[in-house]
Structure 1
Amino acid sequence: MPRRFCLIVITLLWLHAAHAAEAKQRVHVGYYEFPPYSYTDAQGQPSGSGLELTARLLDEAGYQADFRSYPGARLYSGLLDGSIQLWAGASGKPELAGHTLEGKHLLGEITLNLYFRHDTPAPRIPQDLQDRGVILITGYSYWQDVNQWLEDPARNITRHRTSNHASALEMLQRRRGDYLLDYQAPVEQAKRTLGMGELPFVEVQRLPLRLIYSRHAPGAEYLREELDRAYQRLEDAGEDLWLH
């Protein structure tokens, strides 16, 4: 009887643990294609240091990440209506103000640069963009002051759009635009893929990265508190959580 009782207890404990694992709450995490931080790899799987960190924090807090890639505009609208719970992205976006919460911890920084060819003088921004062509990545958004000088009719800036960073670099090299406005991390990765050397640039903005939560998703404040605590625990344990 004692042996049988022990087997029953062990079985019940195993079933309880299995049920707990199955019941682990899933968090819908949105991202857009922004290598090396977030992207869909050749096998169609979410990848990148930003998604790995997000999954690590969710796991530490007892959640499971459910990643899905979106175009930029769709990602923002999902955060606005609560259909996307979480995004690891740029802090302080005006279009998300009032609709999102931000995590306490800084995850890293991204830099927006204006790239130009070696035969082009370093531009003064925005005055030297008058009547020039600027290459942009489709689906990417910028802060209000950047959009203002891009869209100012008096500056007569021609905007050339392309879908990825490698083609944007090739367009610049082939003189299909005078400048390239793009983020440093994906440009560096694209340059390595193309075997391209150094490219001069002027820094336009440096932006902080944080976990961004939709206020309209159920339990947003509690989820933020849980992940803030998870980050602190991992940092106190000596883990390097800075995005590279």
Structure 2
Amino acid sequence: MPRLFLAALLAWVCCAGAQIQAADNLHPVTVGYYEFPPYSWTGEDGQPRGSVLALTERLLRHAGYRGIYRSFPGARLYAGLQDGSVQLWPGAGGKTELRGHTLEARNHFGEINLALYYRKDTPKPKIPEDLAGRGIILISGYSYWKAVNDMLNDPSLGLITHRTSTHQAALEMLQRHRGDFLVDYQQPVEQVIKSLGAEPLPFTVLHSLQLRFVASRHVEGSAILLEALDRAYDELQAAGADLNVR
């Protein structure tokens, strides 16, 4: 028995050592993300979590890379892509702040919606006229899309904005009448509603966008990295893998 145990222990040590060495041989990539459950967030143990980050690591490993994951507020993430301190972001293309600083992958792996939520006692609003003079709840650190930002900043509408740091706090503000509408991404809001056991809220989709890899132009090899990720996506999809995140 001791000999069998020793043999098994040695086999495990050799296997673990081989896995560590294999991981060390993969090219590291700095991957930036922000707290956006269920797609990306930081667990209580400090480790990255979420379906988008799991898919990112799967594709990176298939392509011969490994991710080094760092959580940022939105503005700092964009700054990292602009100066090259962040090489890859599994997010959405077309951000005006990143124009000229980034490259985008060919494939997309999901879709997210930016929505306007309101209480059940509020009639469905006509946008933008029914928002005039009303209170709009926003999430601090999030940037939205140009058409939405233009609407939020339109002086003729006279919107009153209220900001908070979490999706749950934003929903509580809306339910407590501390704002008339909430502008937020659908997936995180739906997850909070589900976790609280609350009833769904009515909403109107303001903007839909595709999730794809965005890489900094200021890091050598970013174009090659995106080509490798697109190739990995194609190969795994051809093998029957489900690569869409939900």
Tell me if both proteins adopt one fold, taking TM over 0.5 as the criterion: yes
Alignment partners' CA distance in 2, 1:137 and 1:105 = 29
Q: What does residue 5 of structure 1 align with?
A: none
SS in 2 for 1:153: coil
1:41-86 CA-partner distances (Å, limit 9, x unpaired): 1222110000000000001011111101000000001001111000
- Give the alignment of 1:29-108 within 5 angstroms: 29-108=31-110
RMSD of equivalent CA atoms: 1.5
TM-score for the superposition, normalised by structure 2: 0.90
Alignment partners' CA distance in 2, 1:17 and 1:144 = 45
Q: Following TM superposition, by how much is the alpha carbon of 1:17 offset from its aligned partner in structure 2, in angstroms? A: 8.7
Q: 1:160 aligns with which of 137, 156, 162?
A: 162
Q: Following TM superposition, by how much is the alpha carbon of 1:25 offset from its aligned partner in structure 2, in angstroms? A: 1.2
Q: Following TM superposition, by how much is the alpha carbon of 1:18 offset from its aligned partner in structure 2, in angstroms? A: 6.8
Alignment partners' CA distance in 1, 2:144 and 2:166 = 16
Q: What does residue 7 of structure 1 align with?
A: none
SS in 2 for 1:105: coil
Q: Following TM superposition, by how much is the alpha carbon of 1:151 offset from its aligned partner in structure 2, in angstroms? A: 1.1
Q: Which amino acid aligns with 1:128?
A: D
Alignment partners' CA distance in 2, 1:87 and 1:38 = 11
Corresponding pairs, count:
230
Q: What does residue 170 of structure 1 align with?
A: 172
Q: 1:194 to 1:17 in 2, by over 3 A?
A: closer
Q: Which amino acid aligns with 1:222?
A: I
128-137 vs 39-48, which moves further:
39-48
Q: What does residue 204 of structure 1 align with?
A: 206
Structure 2: which 5+ runs fail to align?
1-16
Structure 1: which 5+ runs fail to align?
1-14
Q: Following TM superposition, by how much is the alpha carbon of 1:243 offset from its aligned partner in structure 2, in angstroms? A: 1.0
Q: What does residue 234 of structure 1 align with?
A: 236
Q: Following TM superposition, by how much is the alpha carbon of 1:144 offset from its aligned partner in structure 2, in angstroms? A: 1.0
Alignment partners' CA distance in 2, 1:122 and 1:42 = 38
Q: 1:184 to 1:235 in 2, by over 3 A?
A: same
SS in 2 for 1:139: coil
Alignment partners' CA distance in 1, 2:232 and 2:64 = 9
Asked if 1 retains the 8 angstrom alpha-carbon contact of 2:23 and 2:66, the reply is no
SS in 2 for 1:155: coil
Q: What does residue 123 of structure 1 align with?
A: 125
1:5-60 CA-partner distances (Å, limit 9, x unpaired): xxxxxxxxxx9997554232110000001110011112221100000000000010
Q: What does residue 135 of structure 1 align with?
A: 137
TM-score for the superposition, normalised by structure 1: 0.91
Q: What does residue 12 of structure 1 align with?
A: none
Alignment partners' CA distance in 2, 1:123 and 1:20 = 56
Q: Which amino acid aligns with 1:207?
A: L
SS in 2 for 1:154: coil
Percent identity between matched residues is 57
